[in-house]
């Protein structure tokens, strides 16, 4: 599952590429490694305001939920499985009514060298050539006028990510640019949603390499150095894929 991302671009570059304006620019800051377990802001473009970028808290919470902290102790909603979006009591309304784009330029996946699932996972940093900006498919809730929560949609891994995320064999749904507007289309019906989920993954190939251990506690991982390749236990410098 995808619980760690990066978004290192300057705000002006993001706004220019997306043709959208950050609603509250003072809350934006680039990050090199962001952990969903801290429920930070993700920067998202919602379907009902495609010209706006909103700061949404990572980890979808139902609008009617009063005890948000208690809910998150019982439910992990950082990711939402694409296969069950339309049947899930928790996600189906948001899938039909509140889809969004989650902006990023990379993400991290746990990899087990030589398929040894008893060993420690090695973090792999996944990105496009030149660390270009891209969009995850997301769904969100609007808790109040200035508070949104969001989940990242995941799906079954393709051949490339099956090698990267070799235990769970999952990947986040990174939308190909040809499907971005379709995911935000308010008229998209259930059949169209299923088609996008099945066919819309990024056509451009991803790259990946090993990075330093982002899973250690009490270390600062929000630095440019965290994205640099390191030698892993499979013996190849950075284990490029």
190 inside domain = yes
91 inside domain = yes
- Domain coverage including residue 161: 4-227
238 inside domain = no
- For the chain, how long is the longest CA-to-CA vector? 51
**Cα–Cα distance for residue pair 234/3, rounded to 1 Å:** 24
**Residue pLDDT tens, the chain, 241 long:** 799 999 999 999 999 999 999 999 999 999 999 999 999 999 999 999 999 999 999 999 999 999 999 999 999 999 999 999 999 999 999 999 999 999 999 999 999 999 999 998 999 999 999 999 999 999 999 999 999 999 999 999 999 999 999 999 999 999 999 999 999 999 999 999 999 999 999 999 999 999 998 887 667 889 999 999 998 655 544 455 6
96 inside domain = yes
H helix or E strand, kind and range, residue 178: helix 177-183
For residue 42, which of 124, 126, 122, 139 has the smallest C-alpha distance?
139
For residue 188, which of 57, 97, 79 has the smallest C-alpha distance?
97
Q: What DSSP assignment string belongs to 191-241?
A: HHHHHHHHH-B-SSPPEEEE-S-TTSSSS---SGGGGS--B-TTSSBT---
What pLDDT, on a 0 to 100 scale, did the predictor assign at position 232?
A: 67
CATH number for the domain harbouring residue 152: 3.90.1680.10
**Cα–Cα distance for residue pair 190/201, rounded to 1 Å:** 18
How many domains are there within the chain?
1
240 inside domain = no
241 inside domain = no
24 inside domain = yes
**Cα–Cα distance for residue pair 24/148, rounded to 1 Å:** 13
232 inside domain = no
Q: pTM score, two decimals?
A: 0.95
**Cα–Cα distance for residue pair 86/18, rounded to 1 Å:** 28
Q: What tokens were used for 197?
A: 């989920």
């Amino acid at each position: 599952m995808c619980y760690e991302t990066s978004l290192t671009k300057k705000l002006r570059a993001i706004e220019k590429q997306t043709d959208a304006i950050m609603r509250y620019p003072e809350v934006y800051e680039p990050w090199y490694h962001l952990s969903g377990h801290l429920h930070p802001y993700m920067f998202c473009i919602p379907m009902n305001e495609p010209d706006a970028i909103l700061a949404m808290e990572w980890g979808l919470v139902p609008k009617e939920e009063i005890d948000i902290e208690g809910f998150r102790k019982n439910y992990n909603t950082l990711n939402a499985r694409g296969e069950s979006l339309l049947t899930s009591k928790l996600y189906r309304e948001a899938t039909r009514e509140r889809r969004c784009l989650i902006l990023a330029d990379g993400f991290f996946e746990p990899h087990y060298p030589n398929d040894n699932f008893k060993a420690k996972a090695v973090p792999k940093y996944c990105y496009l050539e030149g660390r270009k900006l891209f969009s995850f498919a997301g769904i969100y809730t609007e808790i109040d006028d200035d508070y949104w929560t969001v989940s990242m949609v995941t799906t079954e891994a393709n051949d490339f990510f099956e090698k990267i995320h070799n235990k769970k064999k999952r990947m986040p749904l990174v939308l190909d640019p040809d499907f971005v507007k379709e995911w935000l289309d308010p008229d998209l019906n259930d059949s169209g949603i299923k088609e996008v989920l099945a066919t819309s993954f990024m056509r451009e190939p991803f790259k990946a390499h090993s990075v330093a251990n982002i899973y250690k506690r009490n270390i600062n991982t929000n630095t440019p150095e965290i994205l640099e390749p390191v030698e892993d236990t499979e013996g190849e410098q950075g284990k490029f894929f």
